Amino acid sequence: MRSEVLSSLRWLLTARLLAQLVTWVATIFIIRILSPNDYGLMALAGMFIGFFGLFEEMGLSAAIINKRQLADSDIKNILGLVIVFGITVYLLIYMCSSVVANFFEEPDLAAILKCLALRLPVSSLASVPRALIQREMLFQKKSVVEFLCAVISSIATLGLAIAGWGVWALVYGSLGFAIANMIGLWIVLGKIYSPSFELRKLLAEMKFGGLVSMDRILWYLSTQADVFFIGRFLGNEQLGIYSVAMQLATLPMQKVTVIFNEVGFAAFSRIQLDLKEATRKFVFAVRMISFIAFPIFFGIASVSSDIVSVLLGPDWVAVAMPLWLLAIPVPLRLLESINTTVLFGLGRPGKAATNNLFSLALLVPCFAAASYWGNIVTVCLVWLTVYPICFLITLTRTLSITELTLGNYFLQLFKPCMFSAIVYGSAVFIKVVFPSFISNGILFLVCAIIIGSLVYALLQLVFNRSTFTSFVFLMSHKSSN
């Protein structure tokens, strides 16, 4: 079991890293070509598509992974149900698109929503093979599919942006990825199921999936409320600046989160009756996430202005301050996703949903007030100041079903956080003491990344050798071992 988990993580990390290198380069060029207005429109459309996408399979894919005994008849019934959900949600968005466009006073938004909503029935078709592949932990082939789809869609989006398609480059790139990924997953699965509609046989799965969906809905409302209120009160251009800052701040998070959630959910589901082993794996996941997350995002914050000036150019200078504020709390968001994965894997989706209800109650009013009376910087400050409170509340509730204490949990975070703060301070020190050095933005950025990485690795090697060794082992472990 341990070898299988480590091998799966290694394959996913390798494939996602390669795909990330390509997509990051393409994303930077796309941002330089498109305007804040284009990204603002895409952020609004993505917010609504993402919300309705929560209903495309109603958590039934999670039920596939979590169910201990799964028959072909269960798979066929779930496939039939998610197809119905996907088509229904698409038709609902199609009918509501004009109302949404009028609400935000963006006429072009209606056509974008109608086109982008095609992702939902496509994604619903992909949910079953994705869940089956994840259940069996066949991540090697899945990683190849996702790598190819990411590369192809990134190149296509960049080509459309260069050709002058504006926001439609983002729309068609996103839709193209969904279609290619769906086809690839079915090919990897190697088996086609005919849909069935015997819903009475899915009562247990629908109950579990309903709780998972409730958690996802509450999470989405709390984490996308910022986009909604900025779009409503501050306008499309400000939303574009904010969305680019958020995209840059969370791109590494998105990939790492997906990796650990996919492998972690399957792993915890297999050991859901062994609380001691589940706690041990939980601690390991927290250690690995902390090891990699704190230096990455503290590093992004320390050179945020340089990232913007070098990579995005003068048209996007307003992104620098939001990027700095948004990057710092991202490690906590990563750790929160692991908490949710543990709750799902241990069969406690209701507790995860309640956790997100607490976050919703705290974050939404703050986002609304920050947008109405402030600007995008005050919205970013909500993430920096209020979100850590939400994290502490939900963490305490999550730990109550494990054998891990709050003190031991934070002990896993202490050294990575402290060492990352030292790296952050060293970057600031160089800027203050050697101001002439930063005049060459590219040189400073490259040197800051190299020096920061070496300093962090040295600190971990000397003062936290066990975690350093575990991470190296995780990255180099062979499945044959």
* Identity of the highest mean pLDDT range in 62-76, 103-117, 423-437: 103-117
For residues 40 and 16, the model is more confident at 40
pTM metric for this prediction:
0.82
Give the confidence band of 481 by pLDDT, cuts at 50, 70, 90: very low
Lowest pLDDT segment from 134-148, 282-296, 461-475: 134-148
Tell me how far apart the alpha carbons of residues 128 and 185 are, in angstroms, rounded to a whole number: 9
Q: Any idea of the CA torsion for 143, 148, 153, 156, to the nearest 10 degrees?
A: 170
- Average pLDDT for 438-449: 77
Which residues neighbour 101 within 8 Å (Cβ) at sequence distance 6 or greater? 107, 108, 109, 110, 113
pLDDT at 266: 53
pLDDT at 394: 93
For residues 474 and 416, the model is more confident at 416
Tell me how far apart the alpha carbons of residues 162 and 318 are, in angstroms, rounded to a whole number: 23
Tell me how far apart the alpha carbons of residues 336 and 395 are, in angstroms, rounded to a whole number: 7
Give the confidence band of 42 by pLDDT, cuts at 50, 70, 90: very high
Give the confidence band of 192 by pLDDT, cuts at 50, 70, 90: confident
Judged against a pLDDT cut of 70, whether residue 144 lies above it is answered with yes
Give the confidence band of 339 by pLDDT, cuts at 50, 70, 90: confident
Using alpha carbons, select from 180, 182, 89, 55 the residue that is nearest to residue 128. 182
Using alpha carbons, select from 34, 292, 315, 244 the residue that is nearest to residue 160. 34
Percent of the chain past pLDDT 90, that is, above it, reads 42
pLDDT at 253: 66
pLDDT at 479: 38
Q: What is the pLDDT of residues 364-397, one digit of tens each?
A: 999 999 999 999 999 999 999 999 999 999 999 9
Using alpha carbons, select from 239, 218, 185, 236 the residue that is nearest to residue 380. 239
Q: What is the pLDDT of residues 223-282, one digit of tens each?
A: 899 999 999 899 888 999 999 999 888 877 666 666 565 555 455 556 555 778 878 888
Give the confidence band of 362 by pLDDT, cuts at 50, 70, 90: very high
Give the confidence band of 96 by pLDDT, cuts at 50, 70, 90: very high
Q: What is the pLDDT of residues 59-75, one digit of tens each?
A: 777 777 666 677 788 78
* Identity of the highest mean pLDDT range in 166-175, 216-225, 348-357: 166-175
CA distances to 237, 310, 370 from 242, rounded to whole Å, are: 9, 18, 13
pLDDT at 256: 62
Which residues neighbour 394 within 8 Å (Cβ) at sequence distance 6 or greater? 336, 339, 355, 356, 358, 359
Q: Do 146 and 77 touch, CB atoms closer than 8 A?
A: no
Q: Where exactly are the structural domains of the chain?
A: 1-197
Judged against a pLDDT cut of 60, whether residue 4 lies above it is answered with no
Q: Do 92 and 157 touch, CB atoms closer than 8 A?
A: no
Give the confidence band of 478 by pLDDT, cuts at 50, 70, 90: very low
Lowest pLDDT segment from 96-100, 204-208, 406-410, 428-432: 204-208
Give the confidence band of 417 by pLDDT, cuts at 50, 70, 90: very high
Give the confidence band of 297 by pLDDT, cuts at 50, 70, 90: very high
pLDDT at 276: 82
Give the confidence band of 133 by pLDDT, cuts at 50, 70, 90: confident
pLDDT at 351: 86
Judged against a pLDDT cut of 50, whether residue 146 lies above it is answered with yes
Placement of tokens 């409503």 in the chain: 232
**Three state DSSP letters for the chain:** CHHHHHHHHHHHHHHHHHHHHHHHHHHHHHHHHCCHHHHHHHHHHHHHHHHHHCCCCCCHHHHHHHCCCCCHHHHHHHHHHHHHHHHHHHHHHHHHHHHHHHHCCCCHHHHHHHHHCCHHHHHHHHHHHHHHHHHCCCHHHHHHHHHHHHHHHHHHHHHHHHCCCCHHHHHHHHHHHHHHHHHHHHHHHCCCCCCCCCHHHHHHHHHHHHHHHHHHHHHHHHHHHHHHHHHHHCCHHHHHHHHHHHHHHHHHHHHHHHHHHHHHHHHHHHCCCCHHHHHHHHHHHHHHHHHHHHHHHHHHHHCHHHHHHHHHCHHHHHHHHHHHHHHCCHHHHHHHHHHHHHHHHCCCHHHHHHHHHHHHHHHHHHHHHHHHHCCHHHHHHHHHHCHHHHHHHHHHHHHCCCCCCHHHHHHHHHHHHHHHHHHHHHHHHHHHHCHHHHHCHHHHHHHHHHHHHHHHHHHHHHHCHHHHHHHHHHHHCCCCC
For residues 163 and 306, the model is more confident at 163
Tell me how far apart the alpha carbons of residues 264 and 344 are, in angstroms, rounded to a whole number: 10
Judged against a pLDDT cut of 50, whether residue 480 lies above it is answered with no
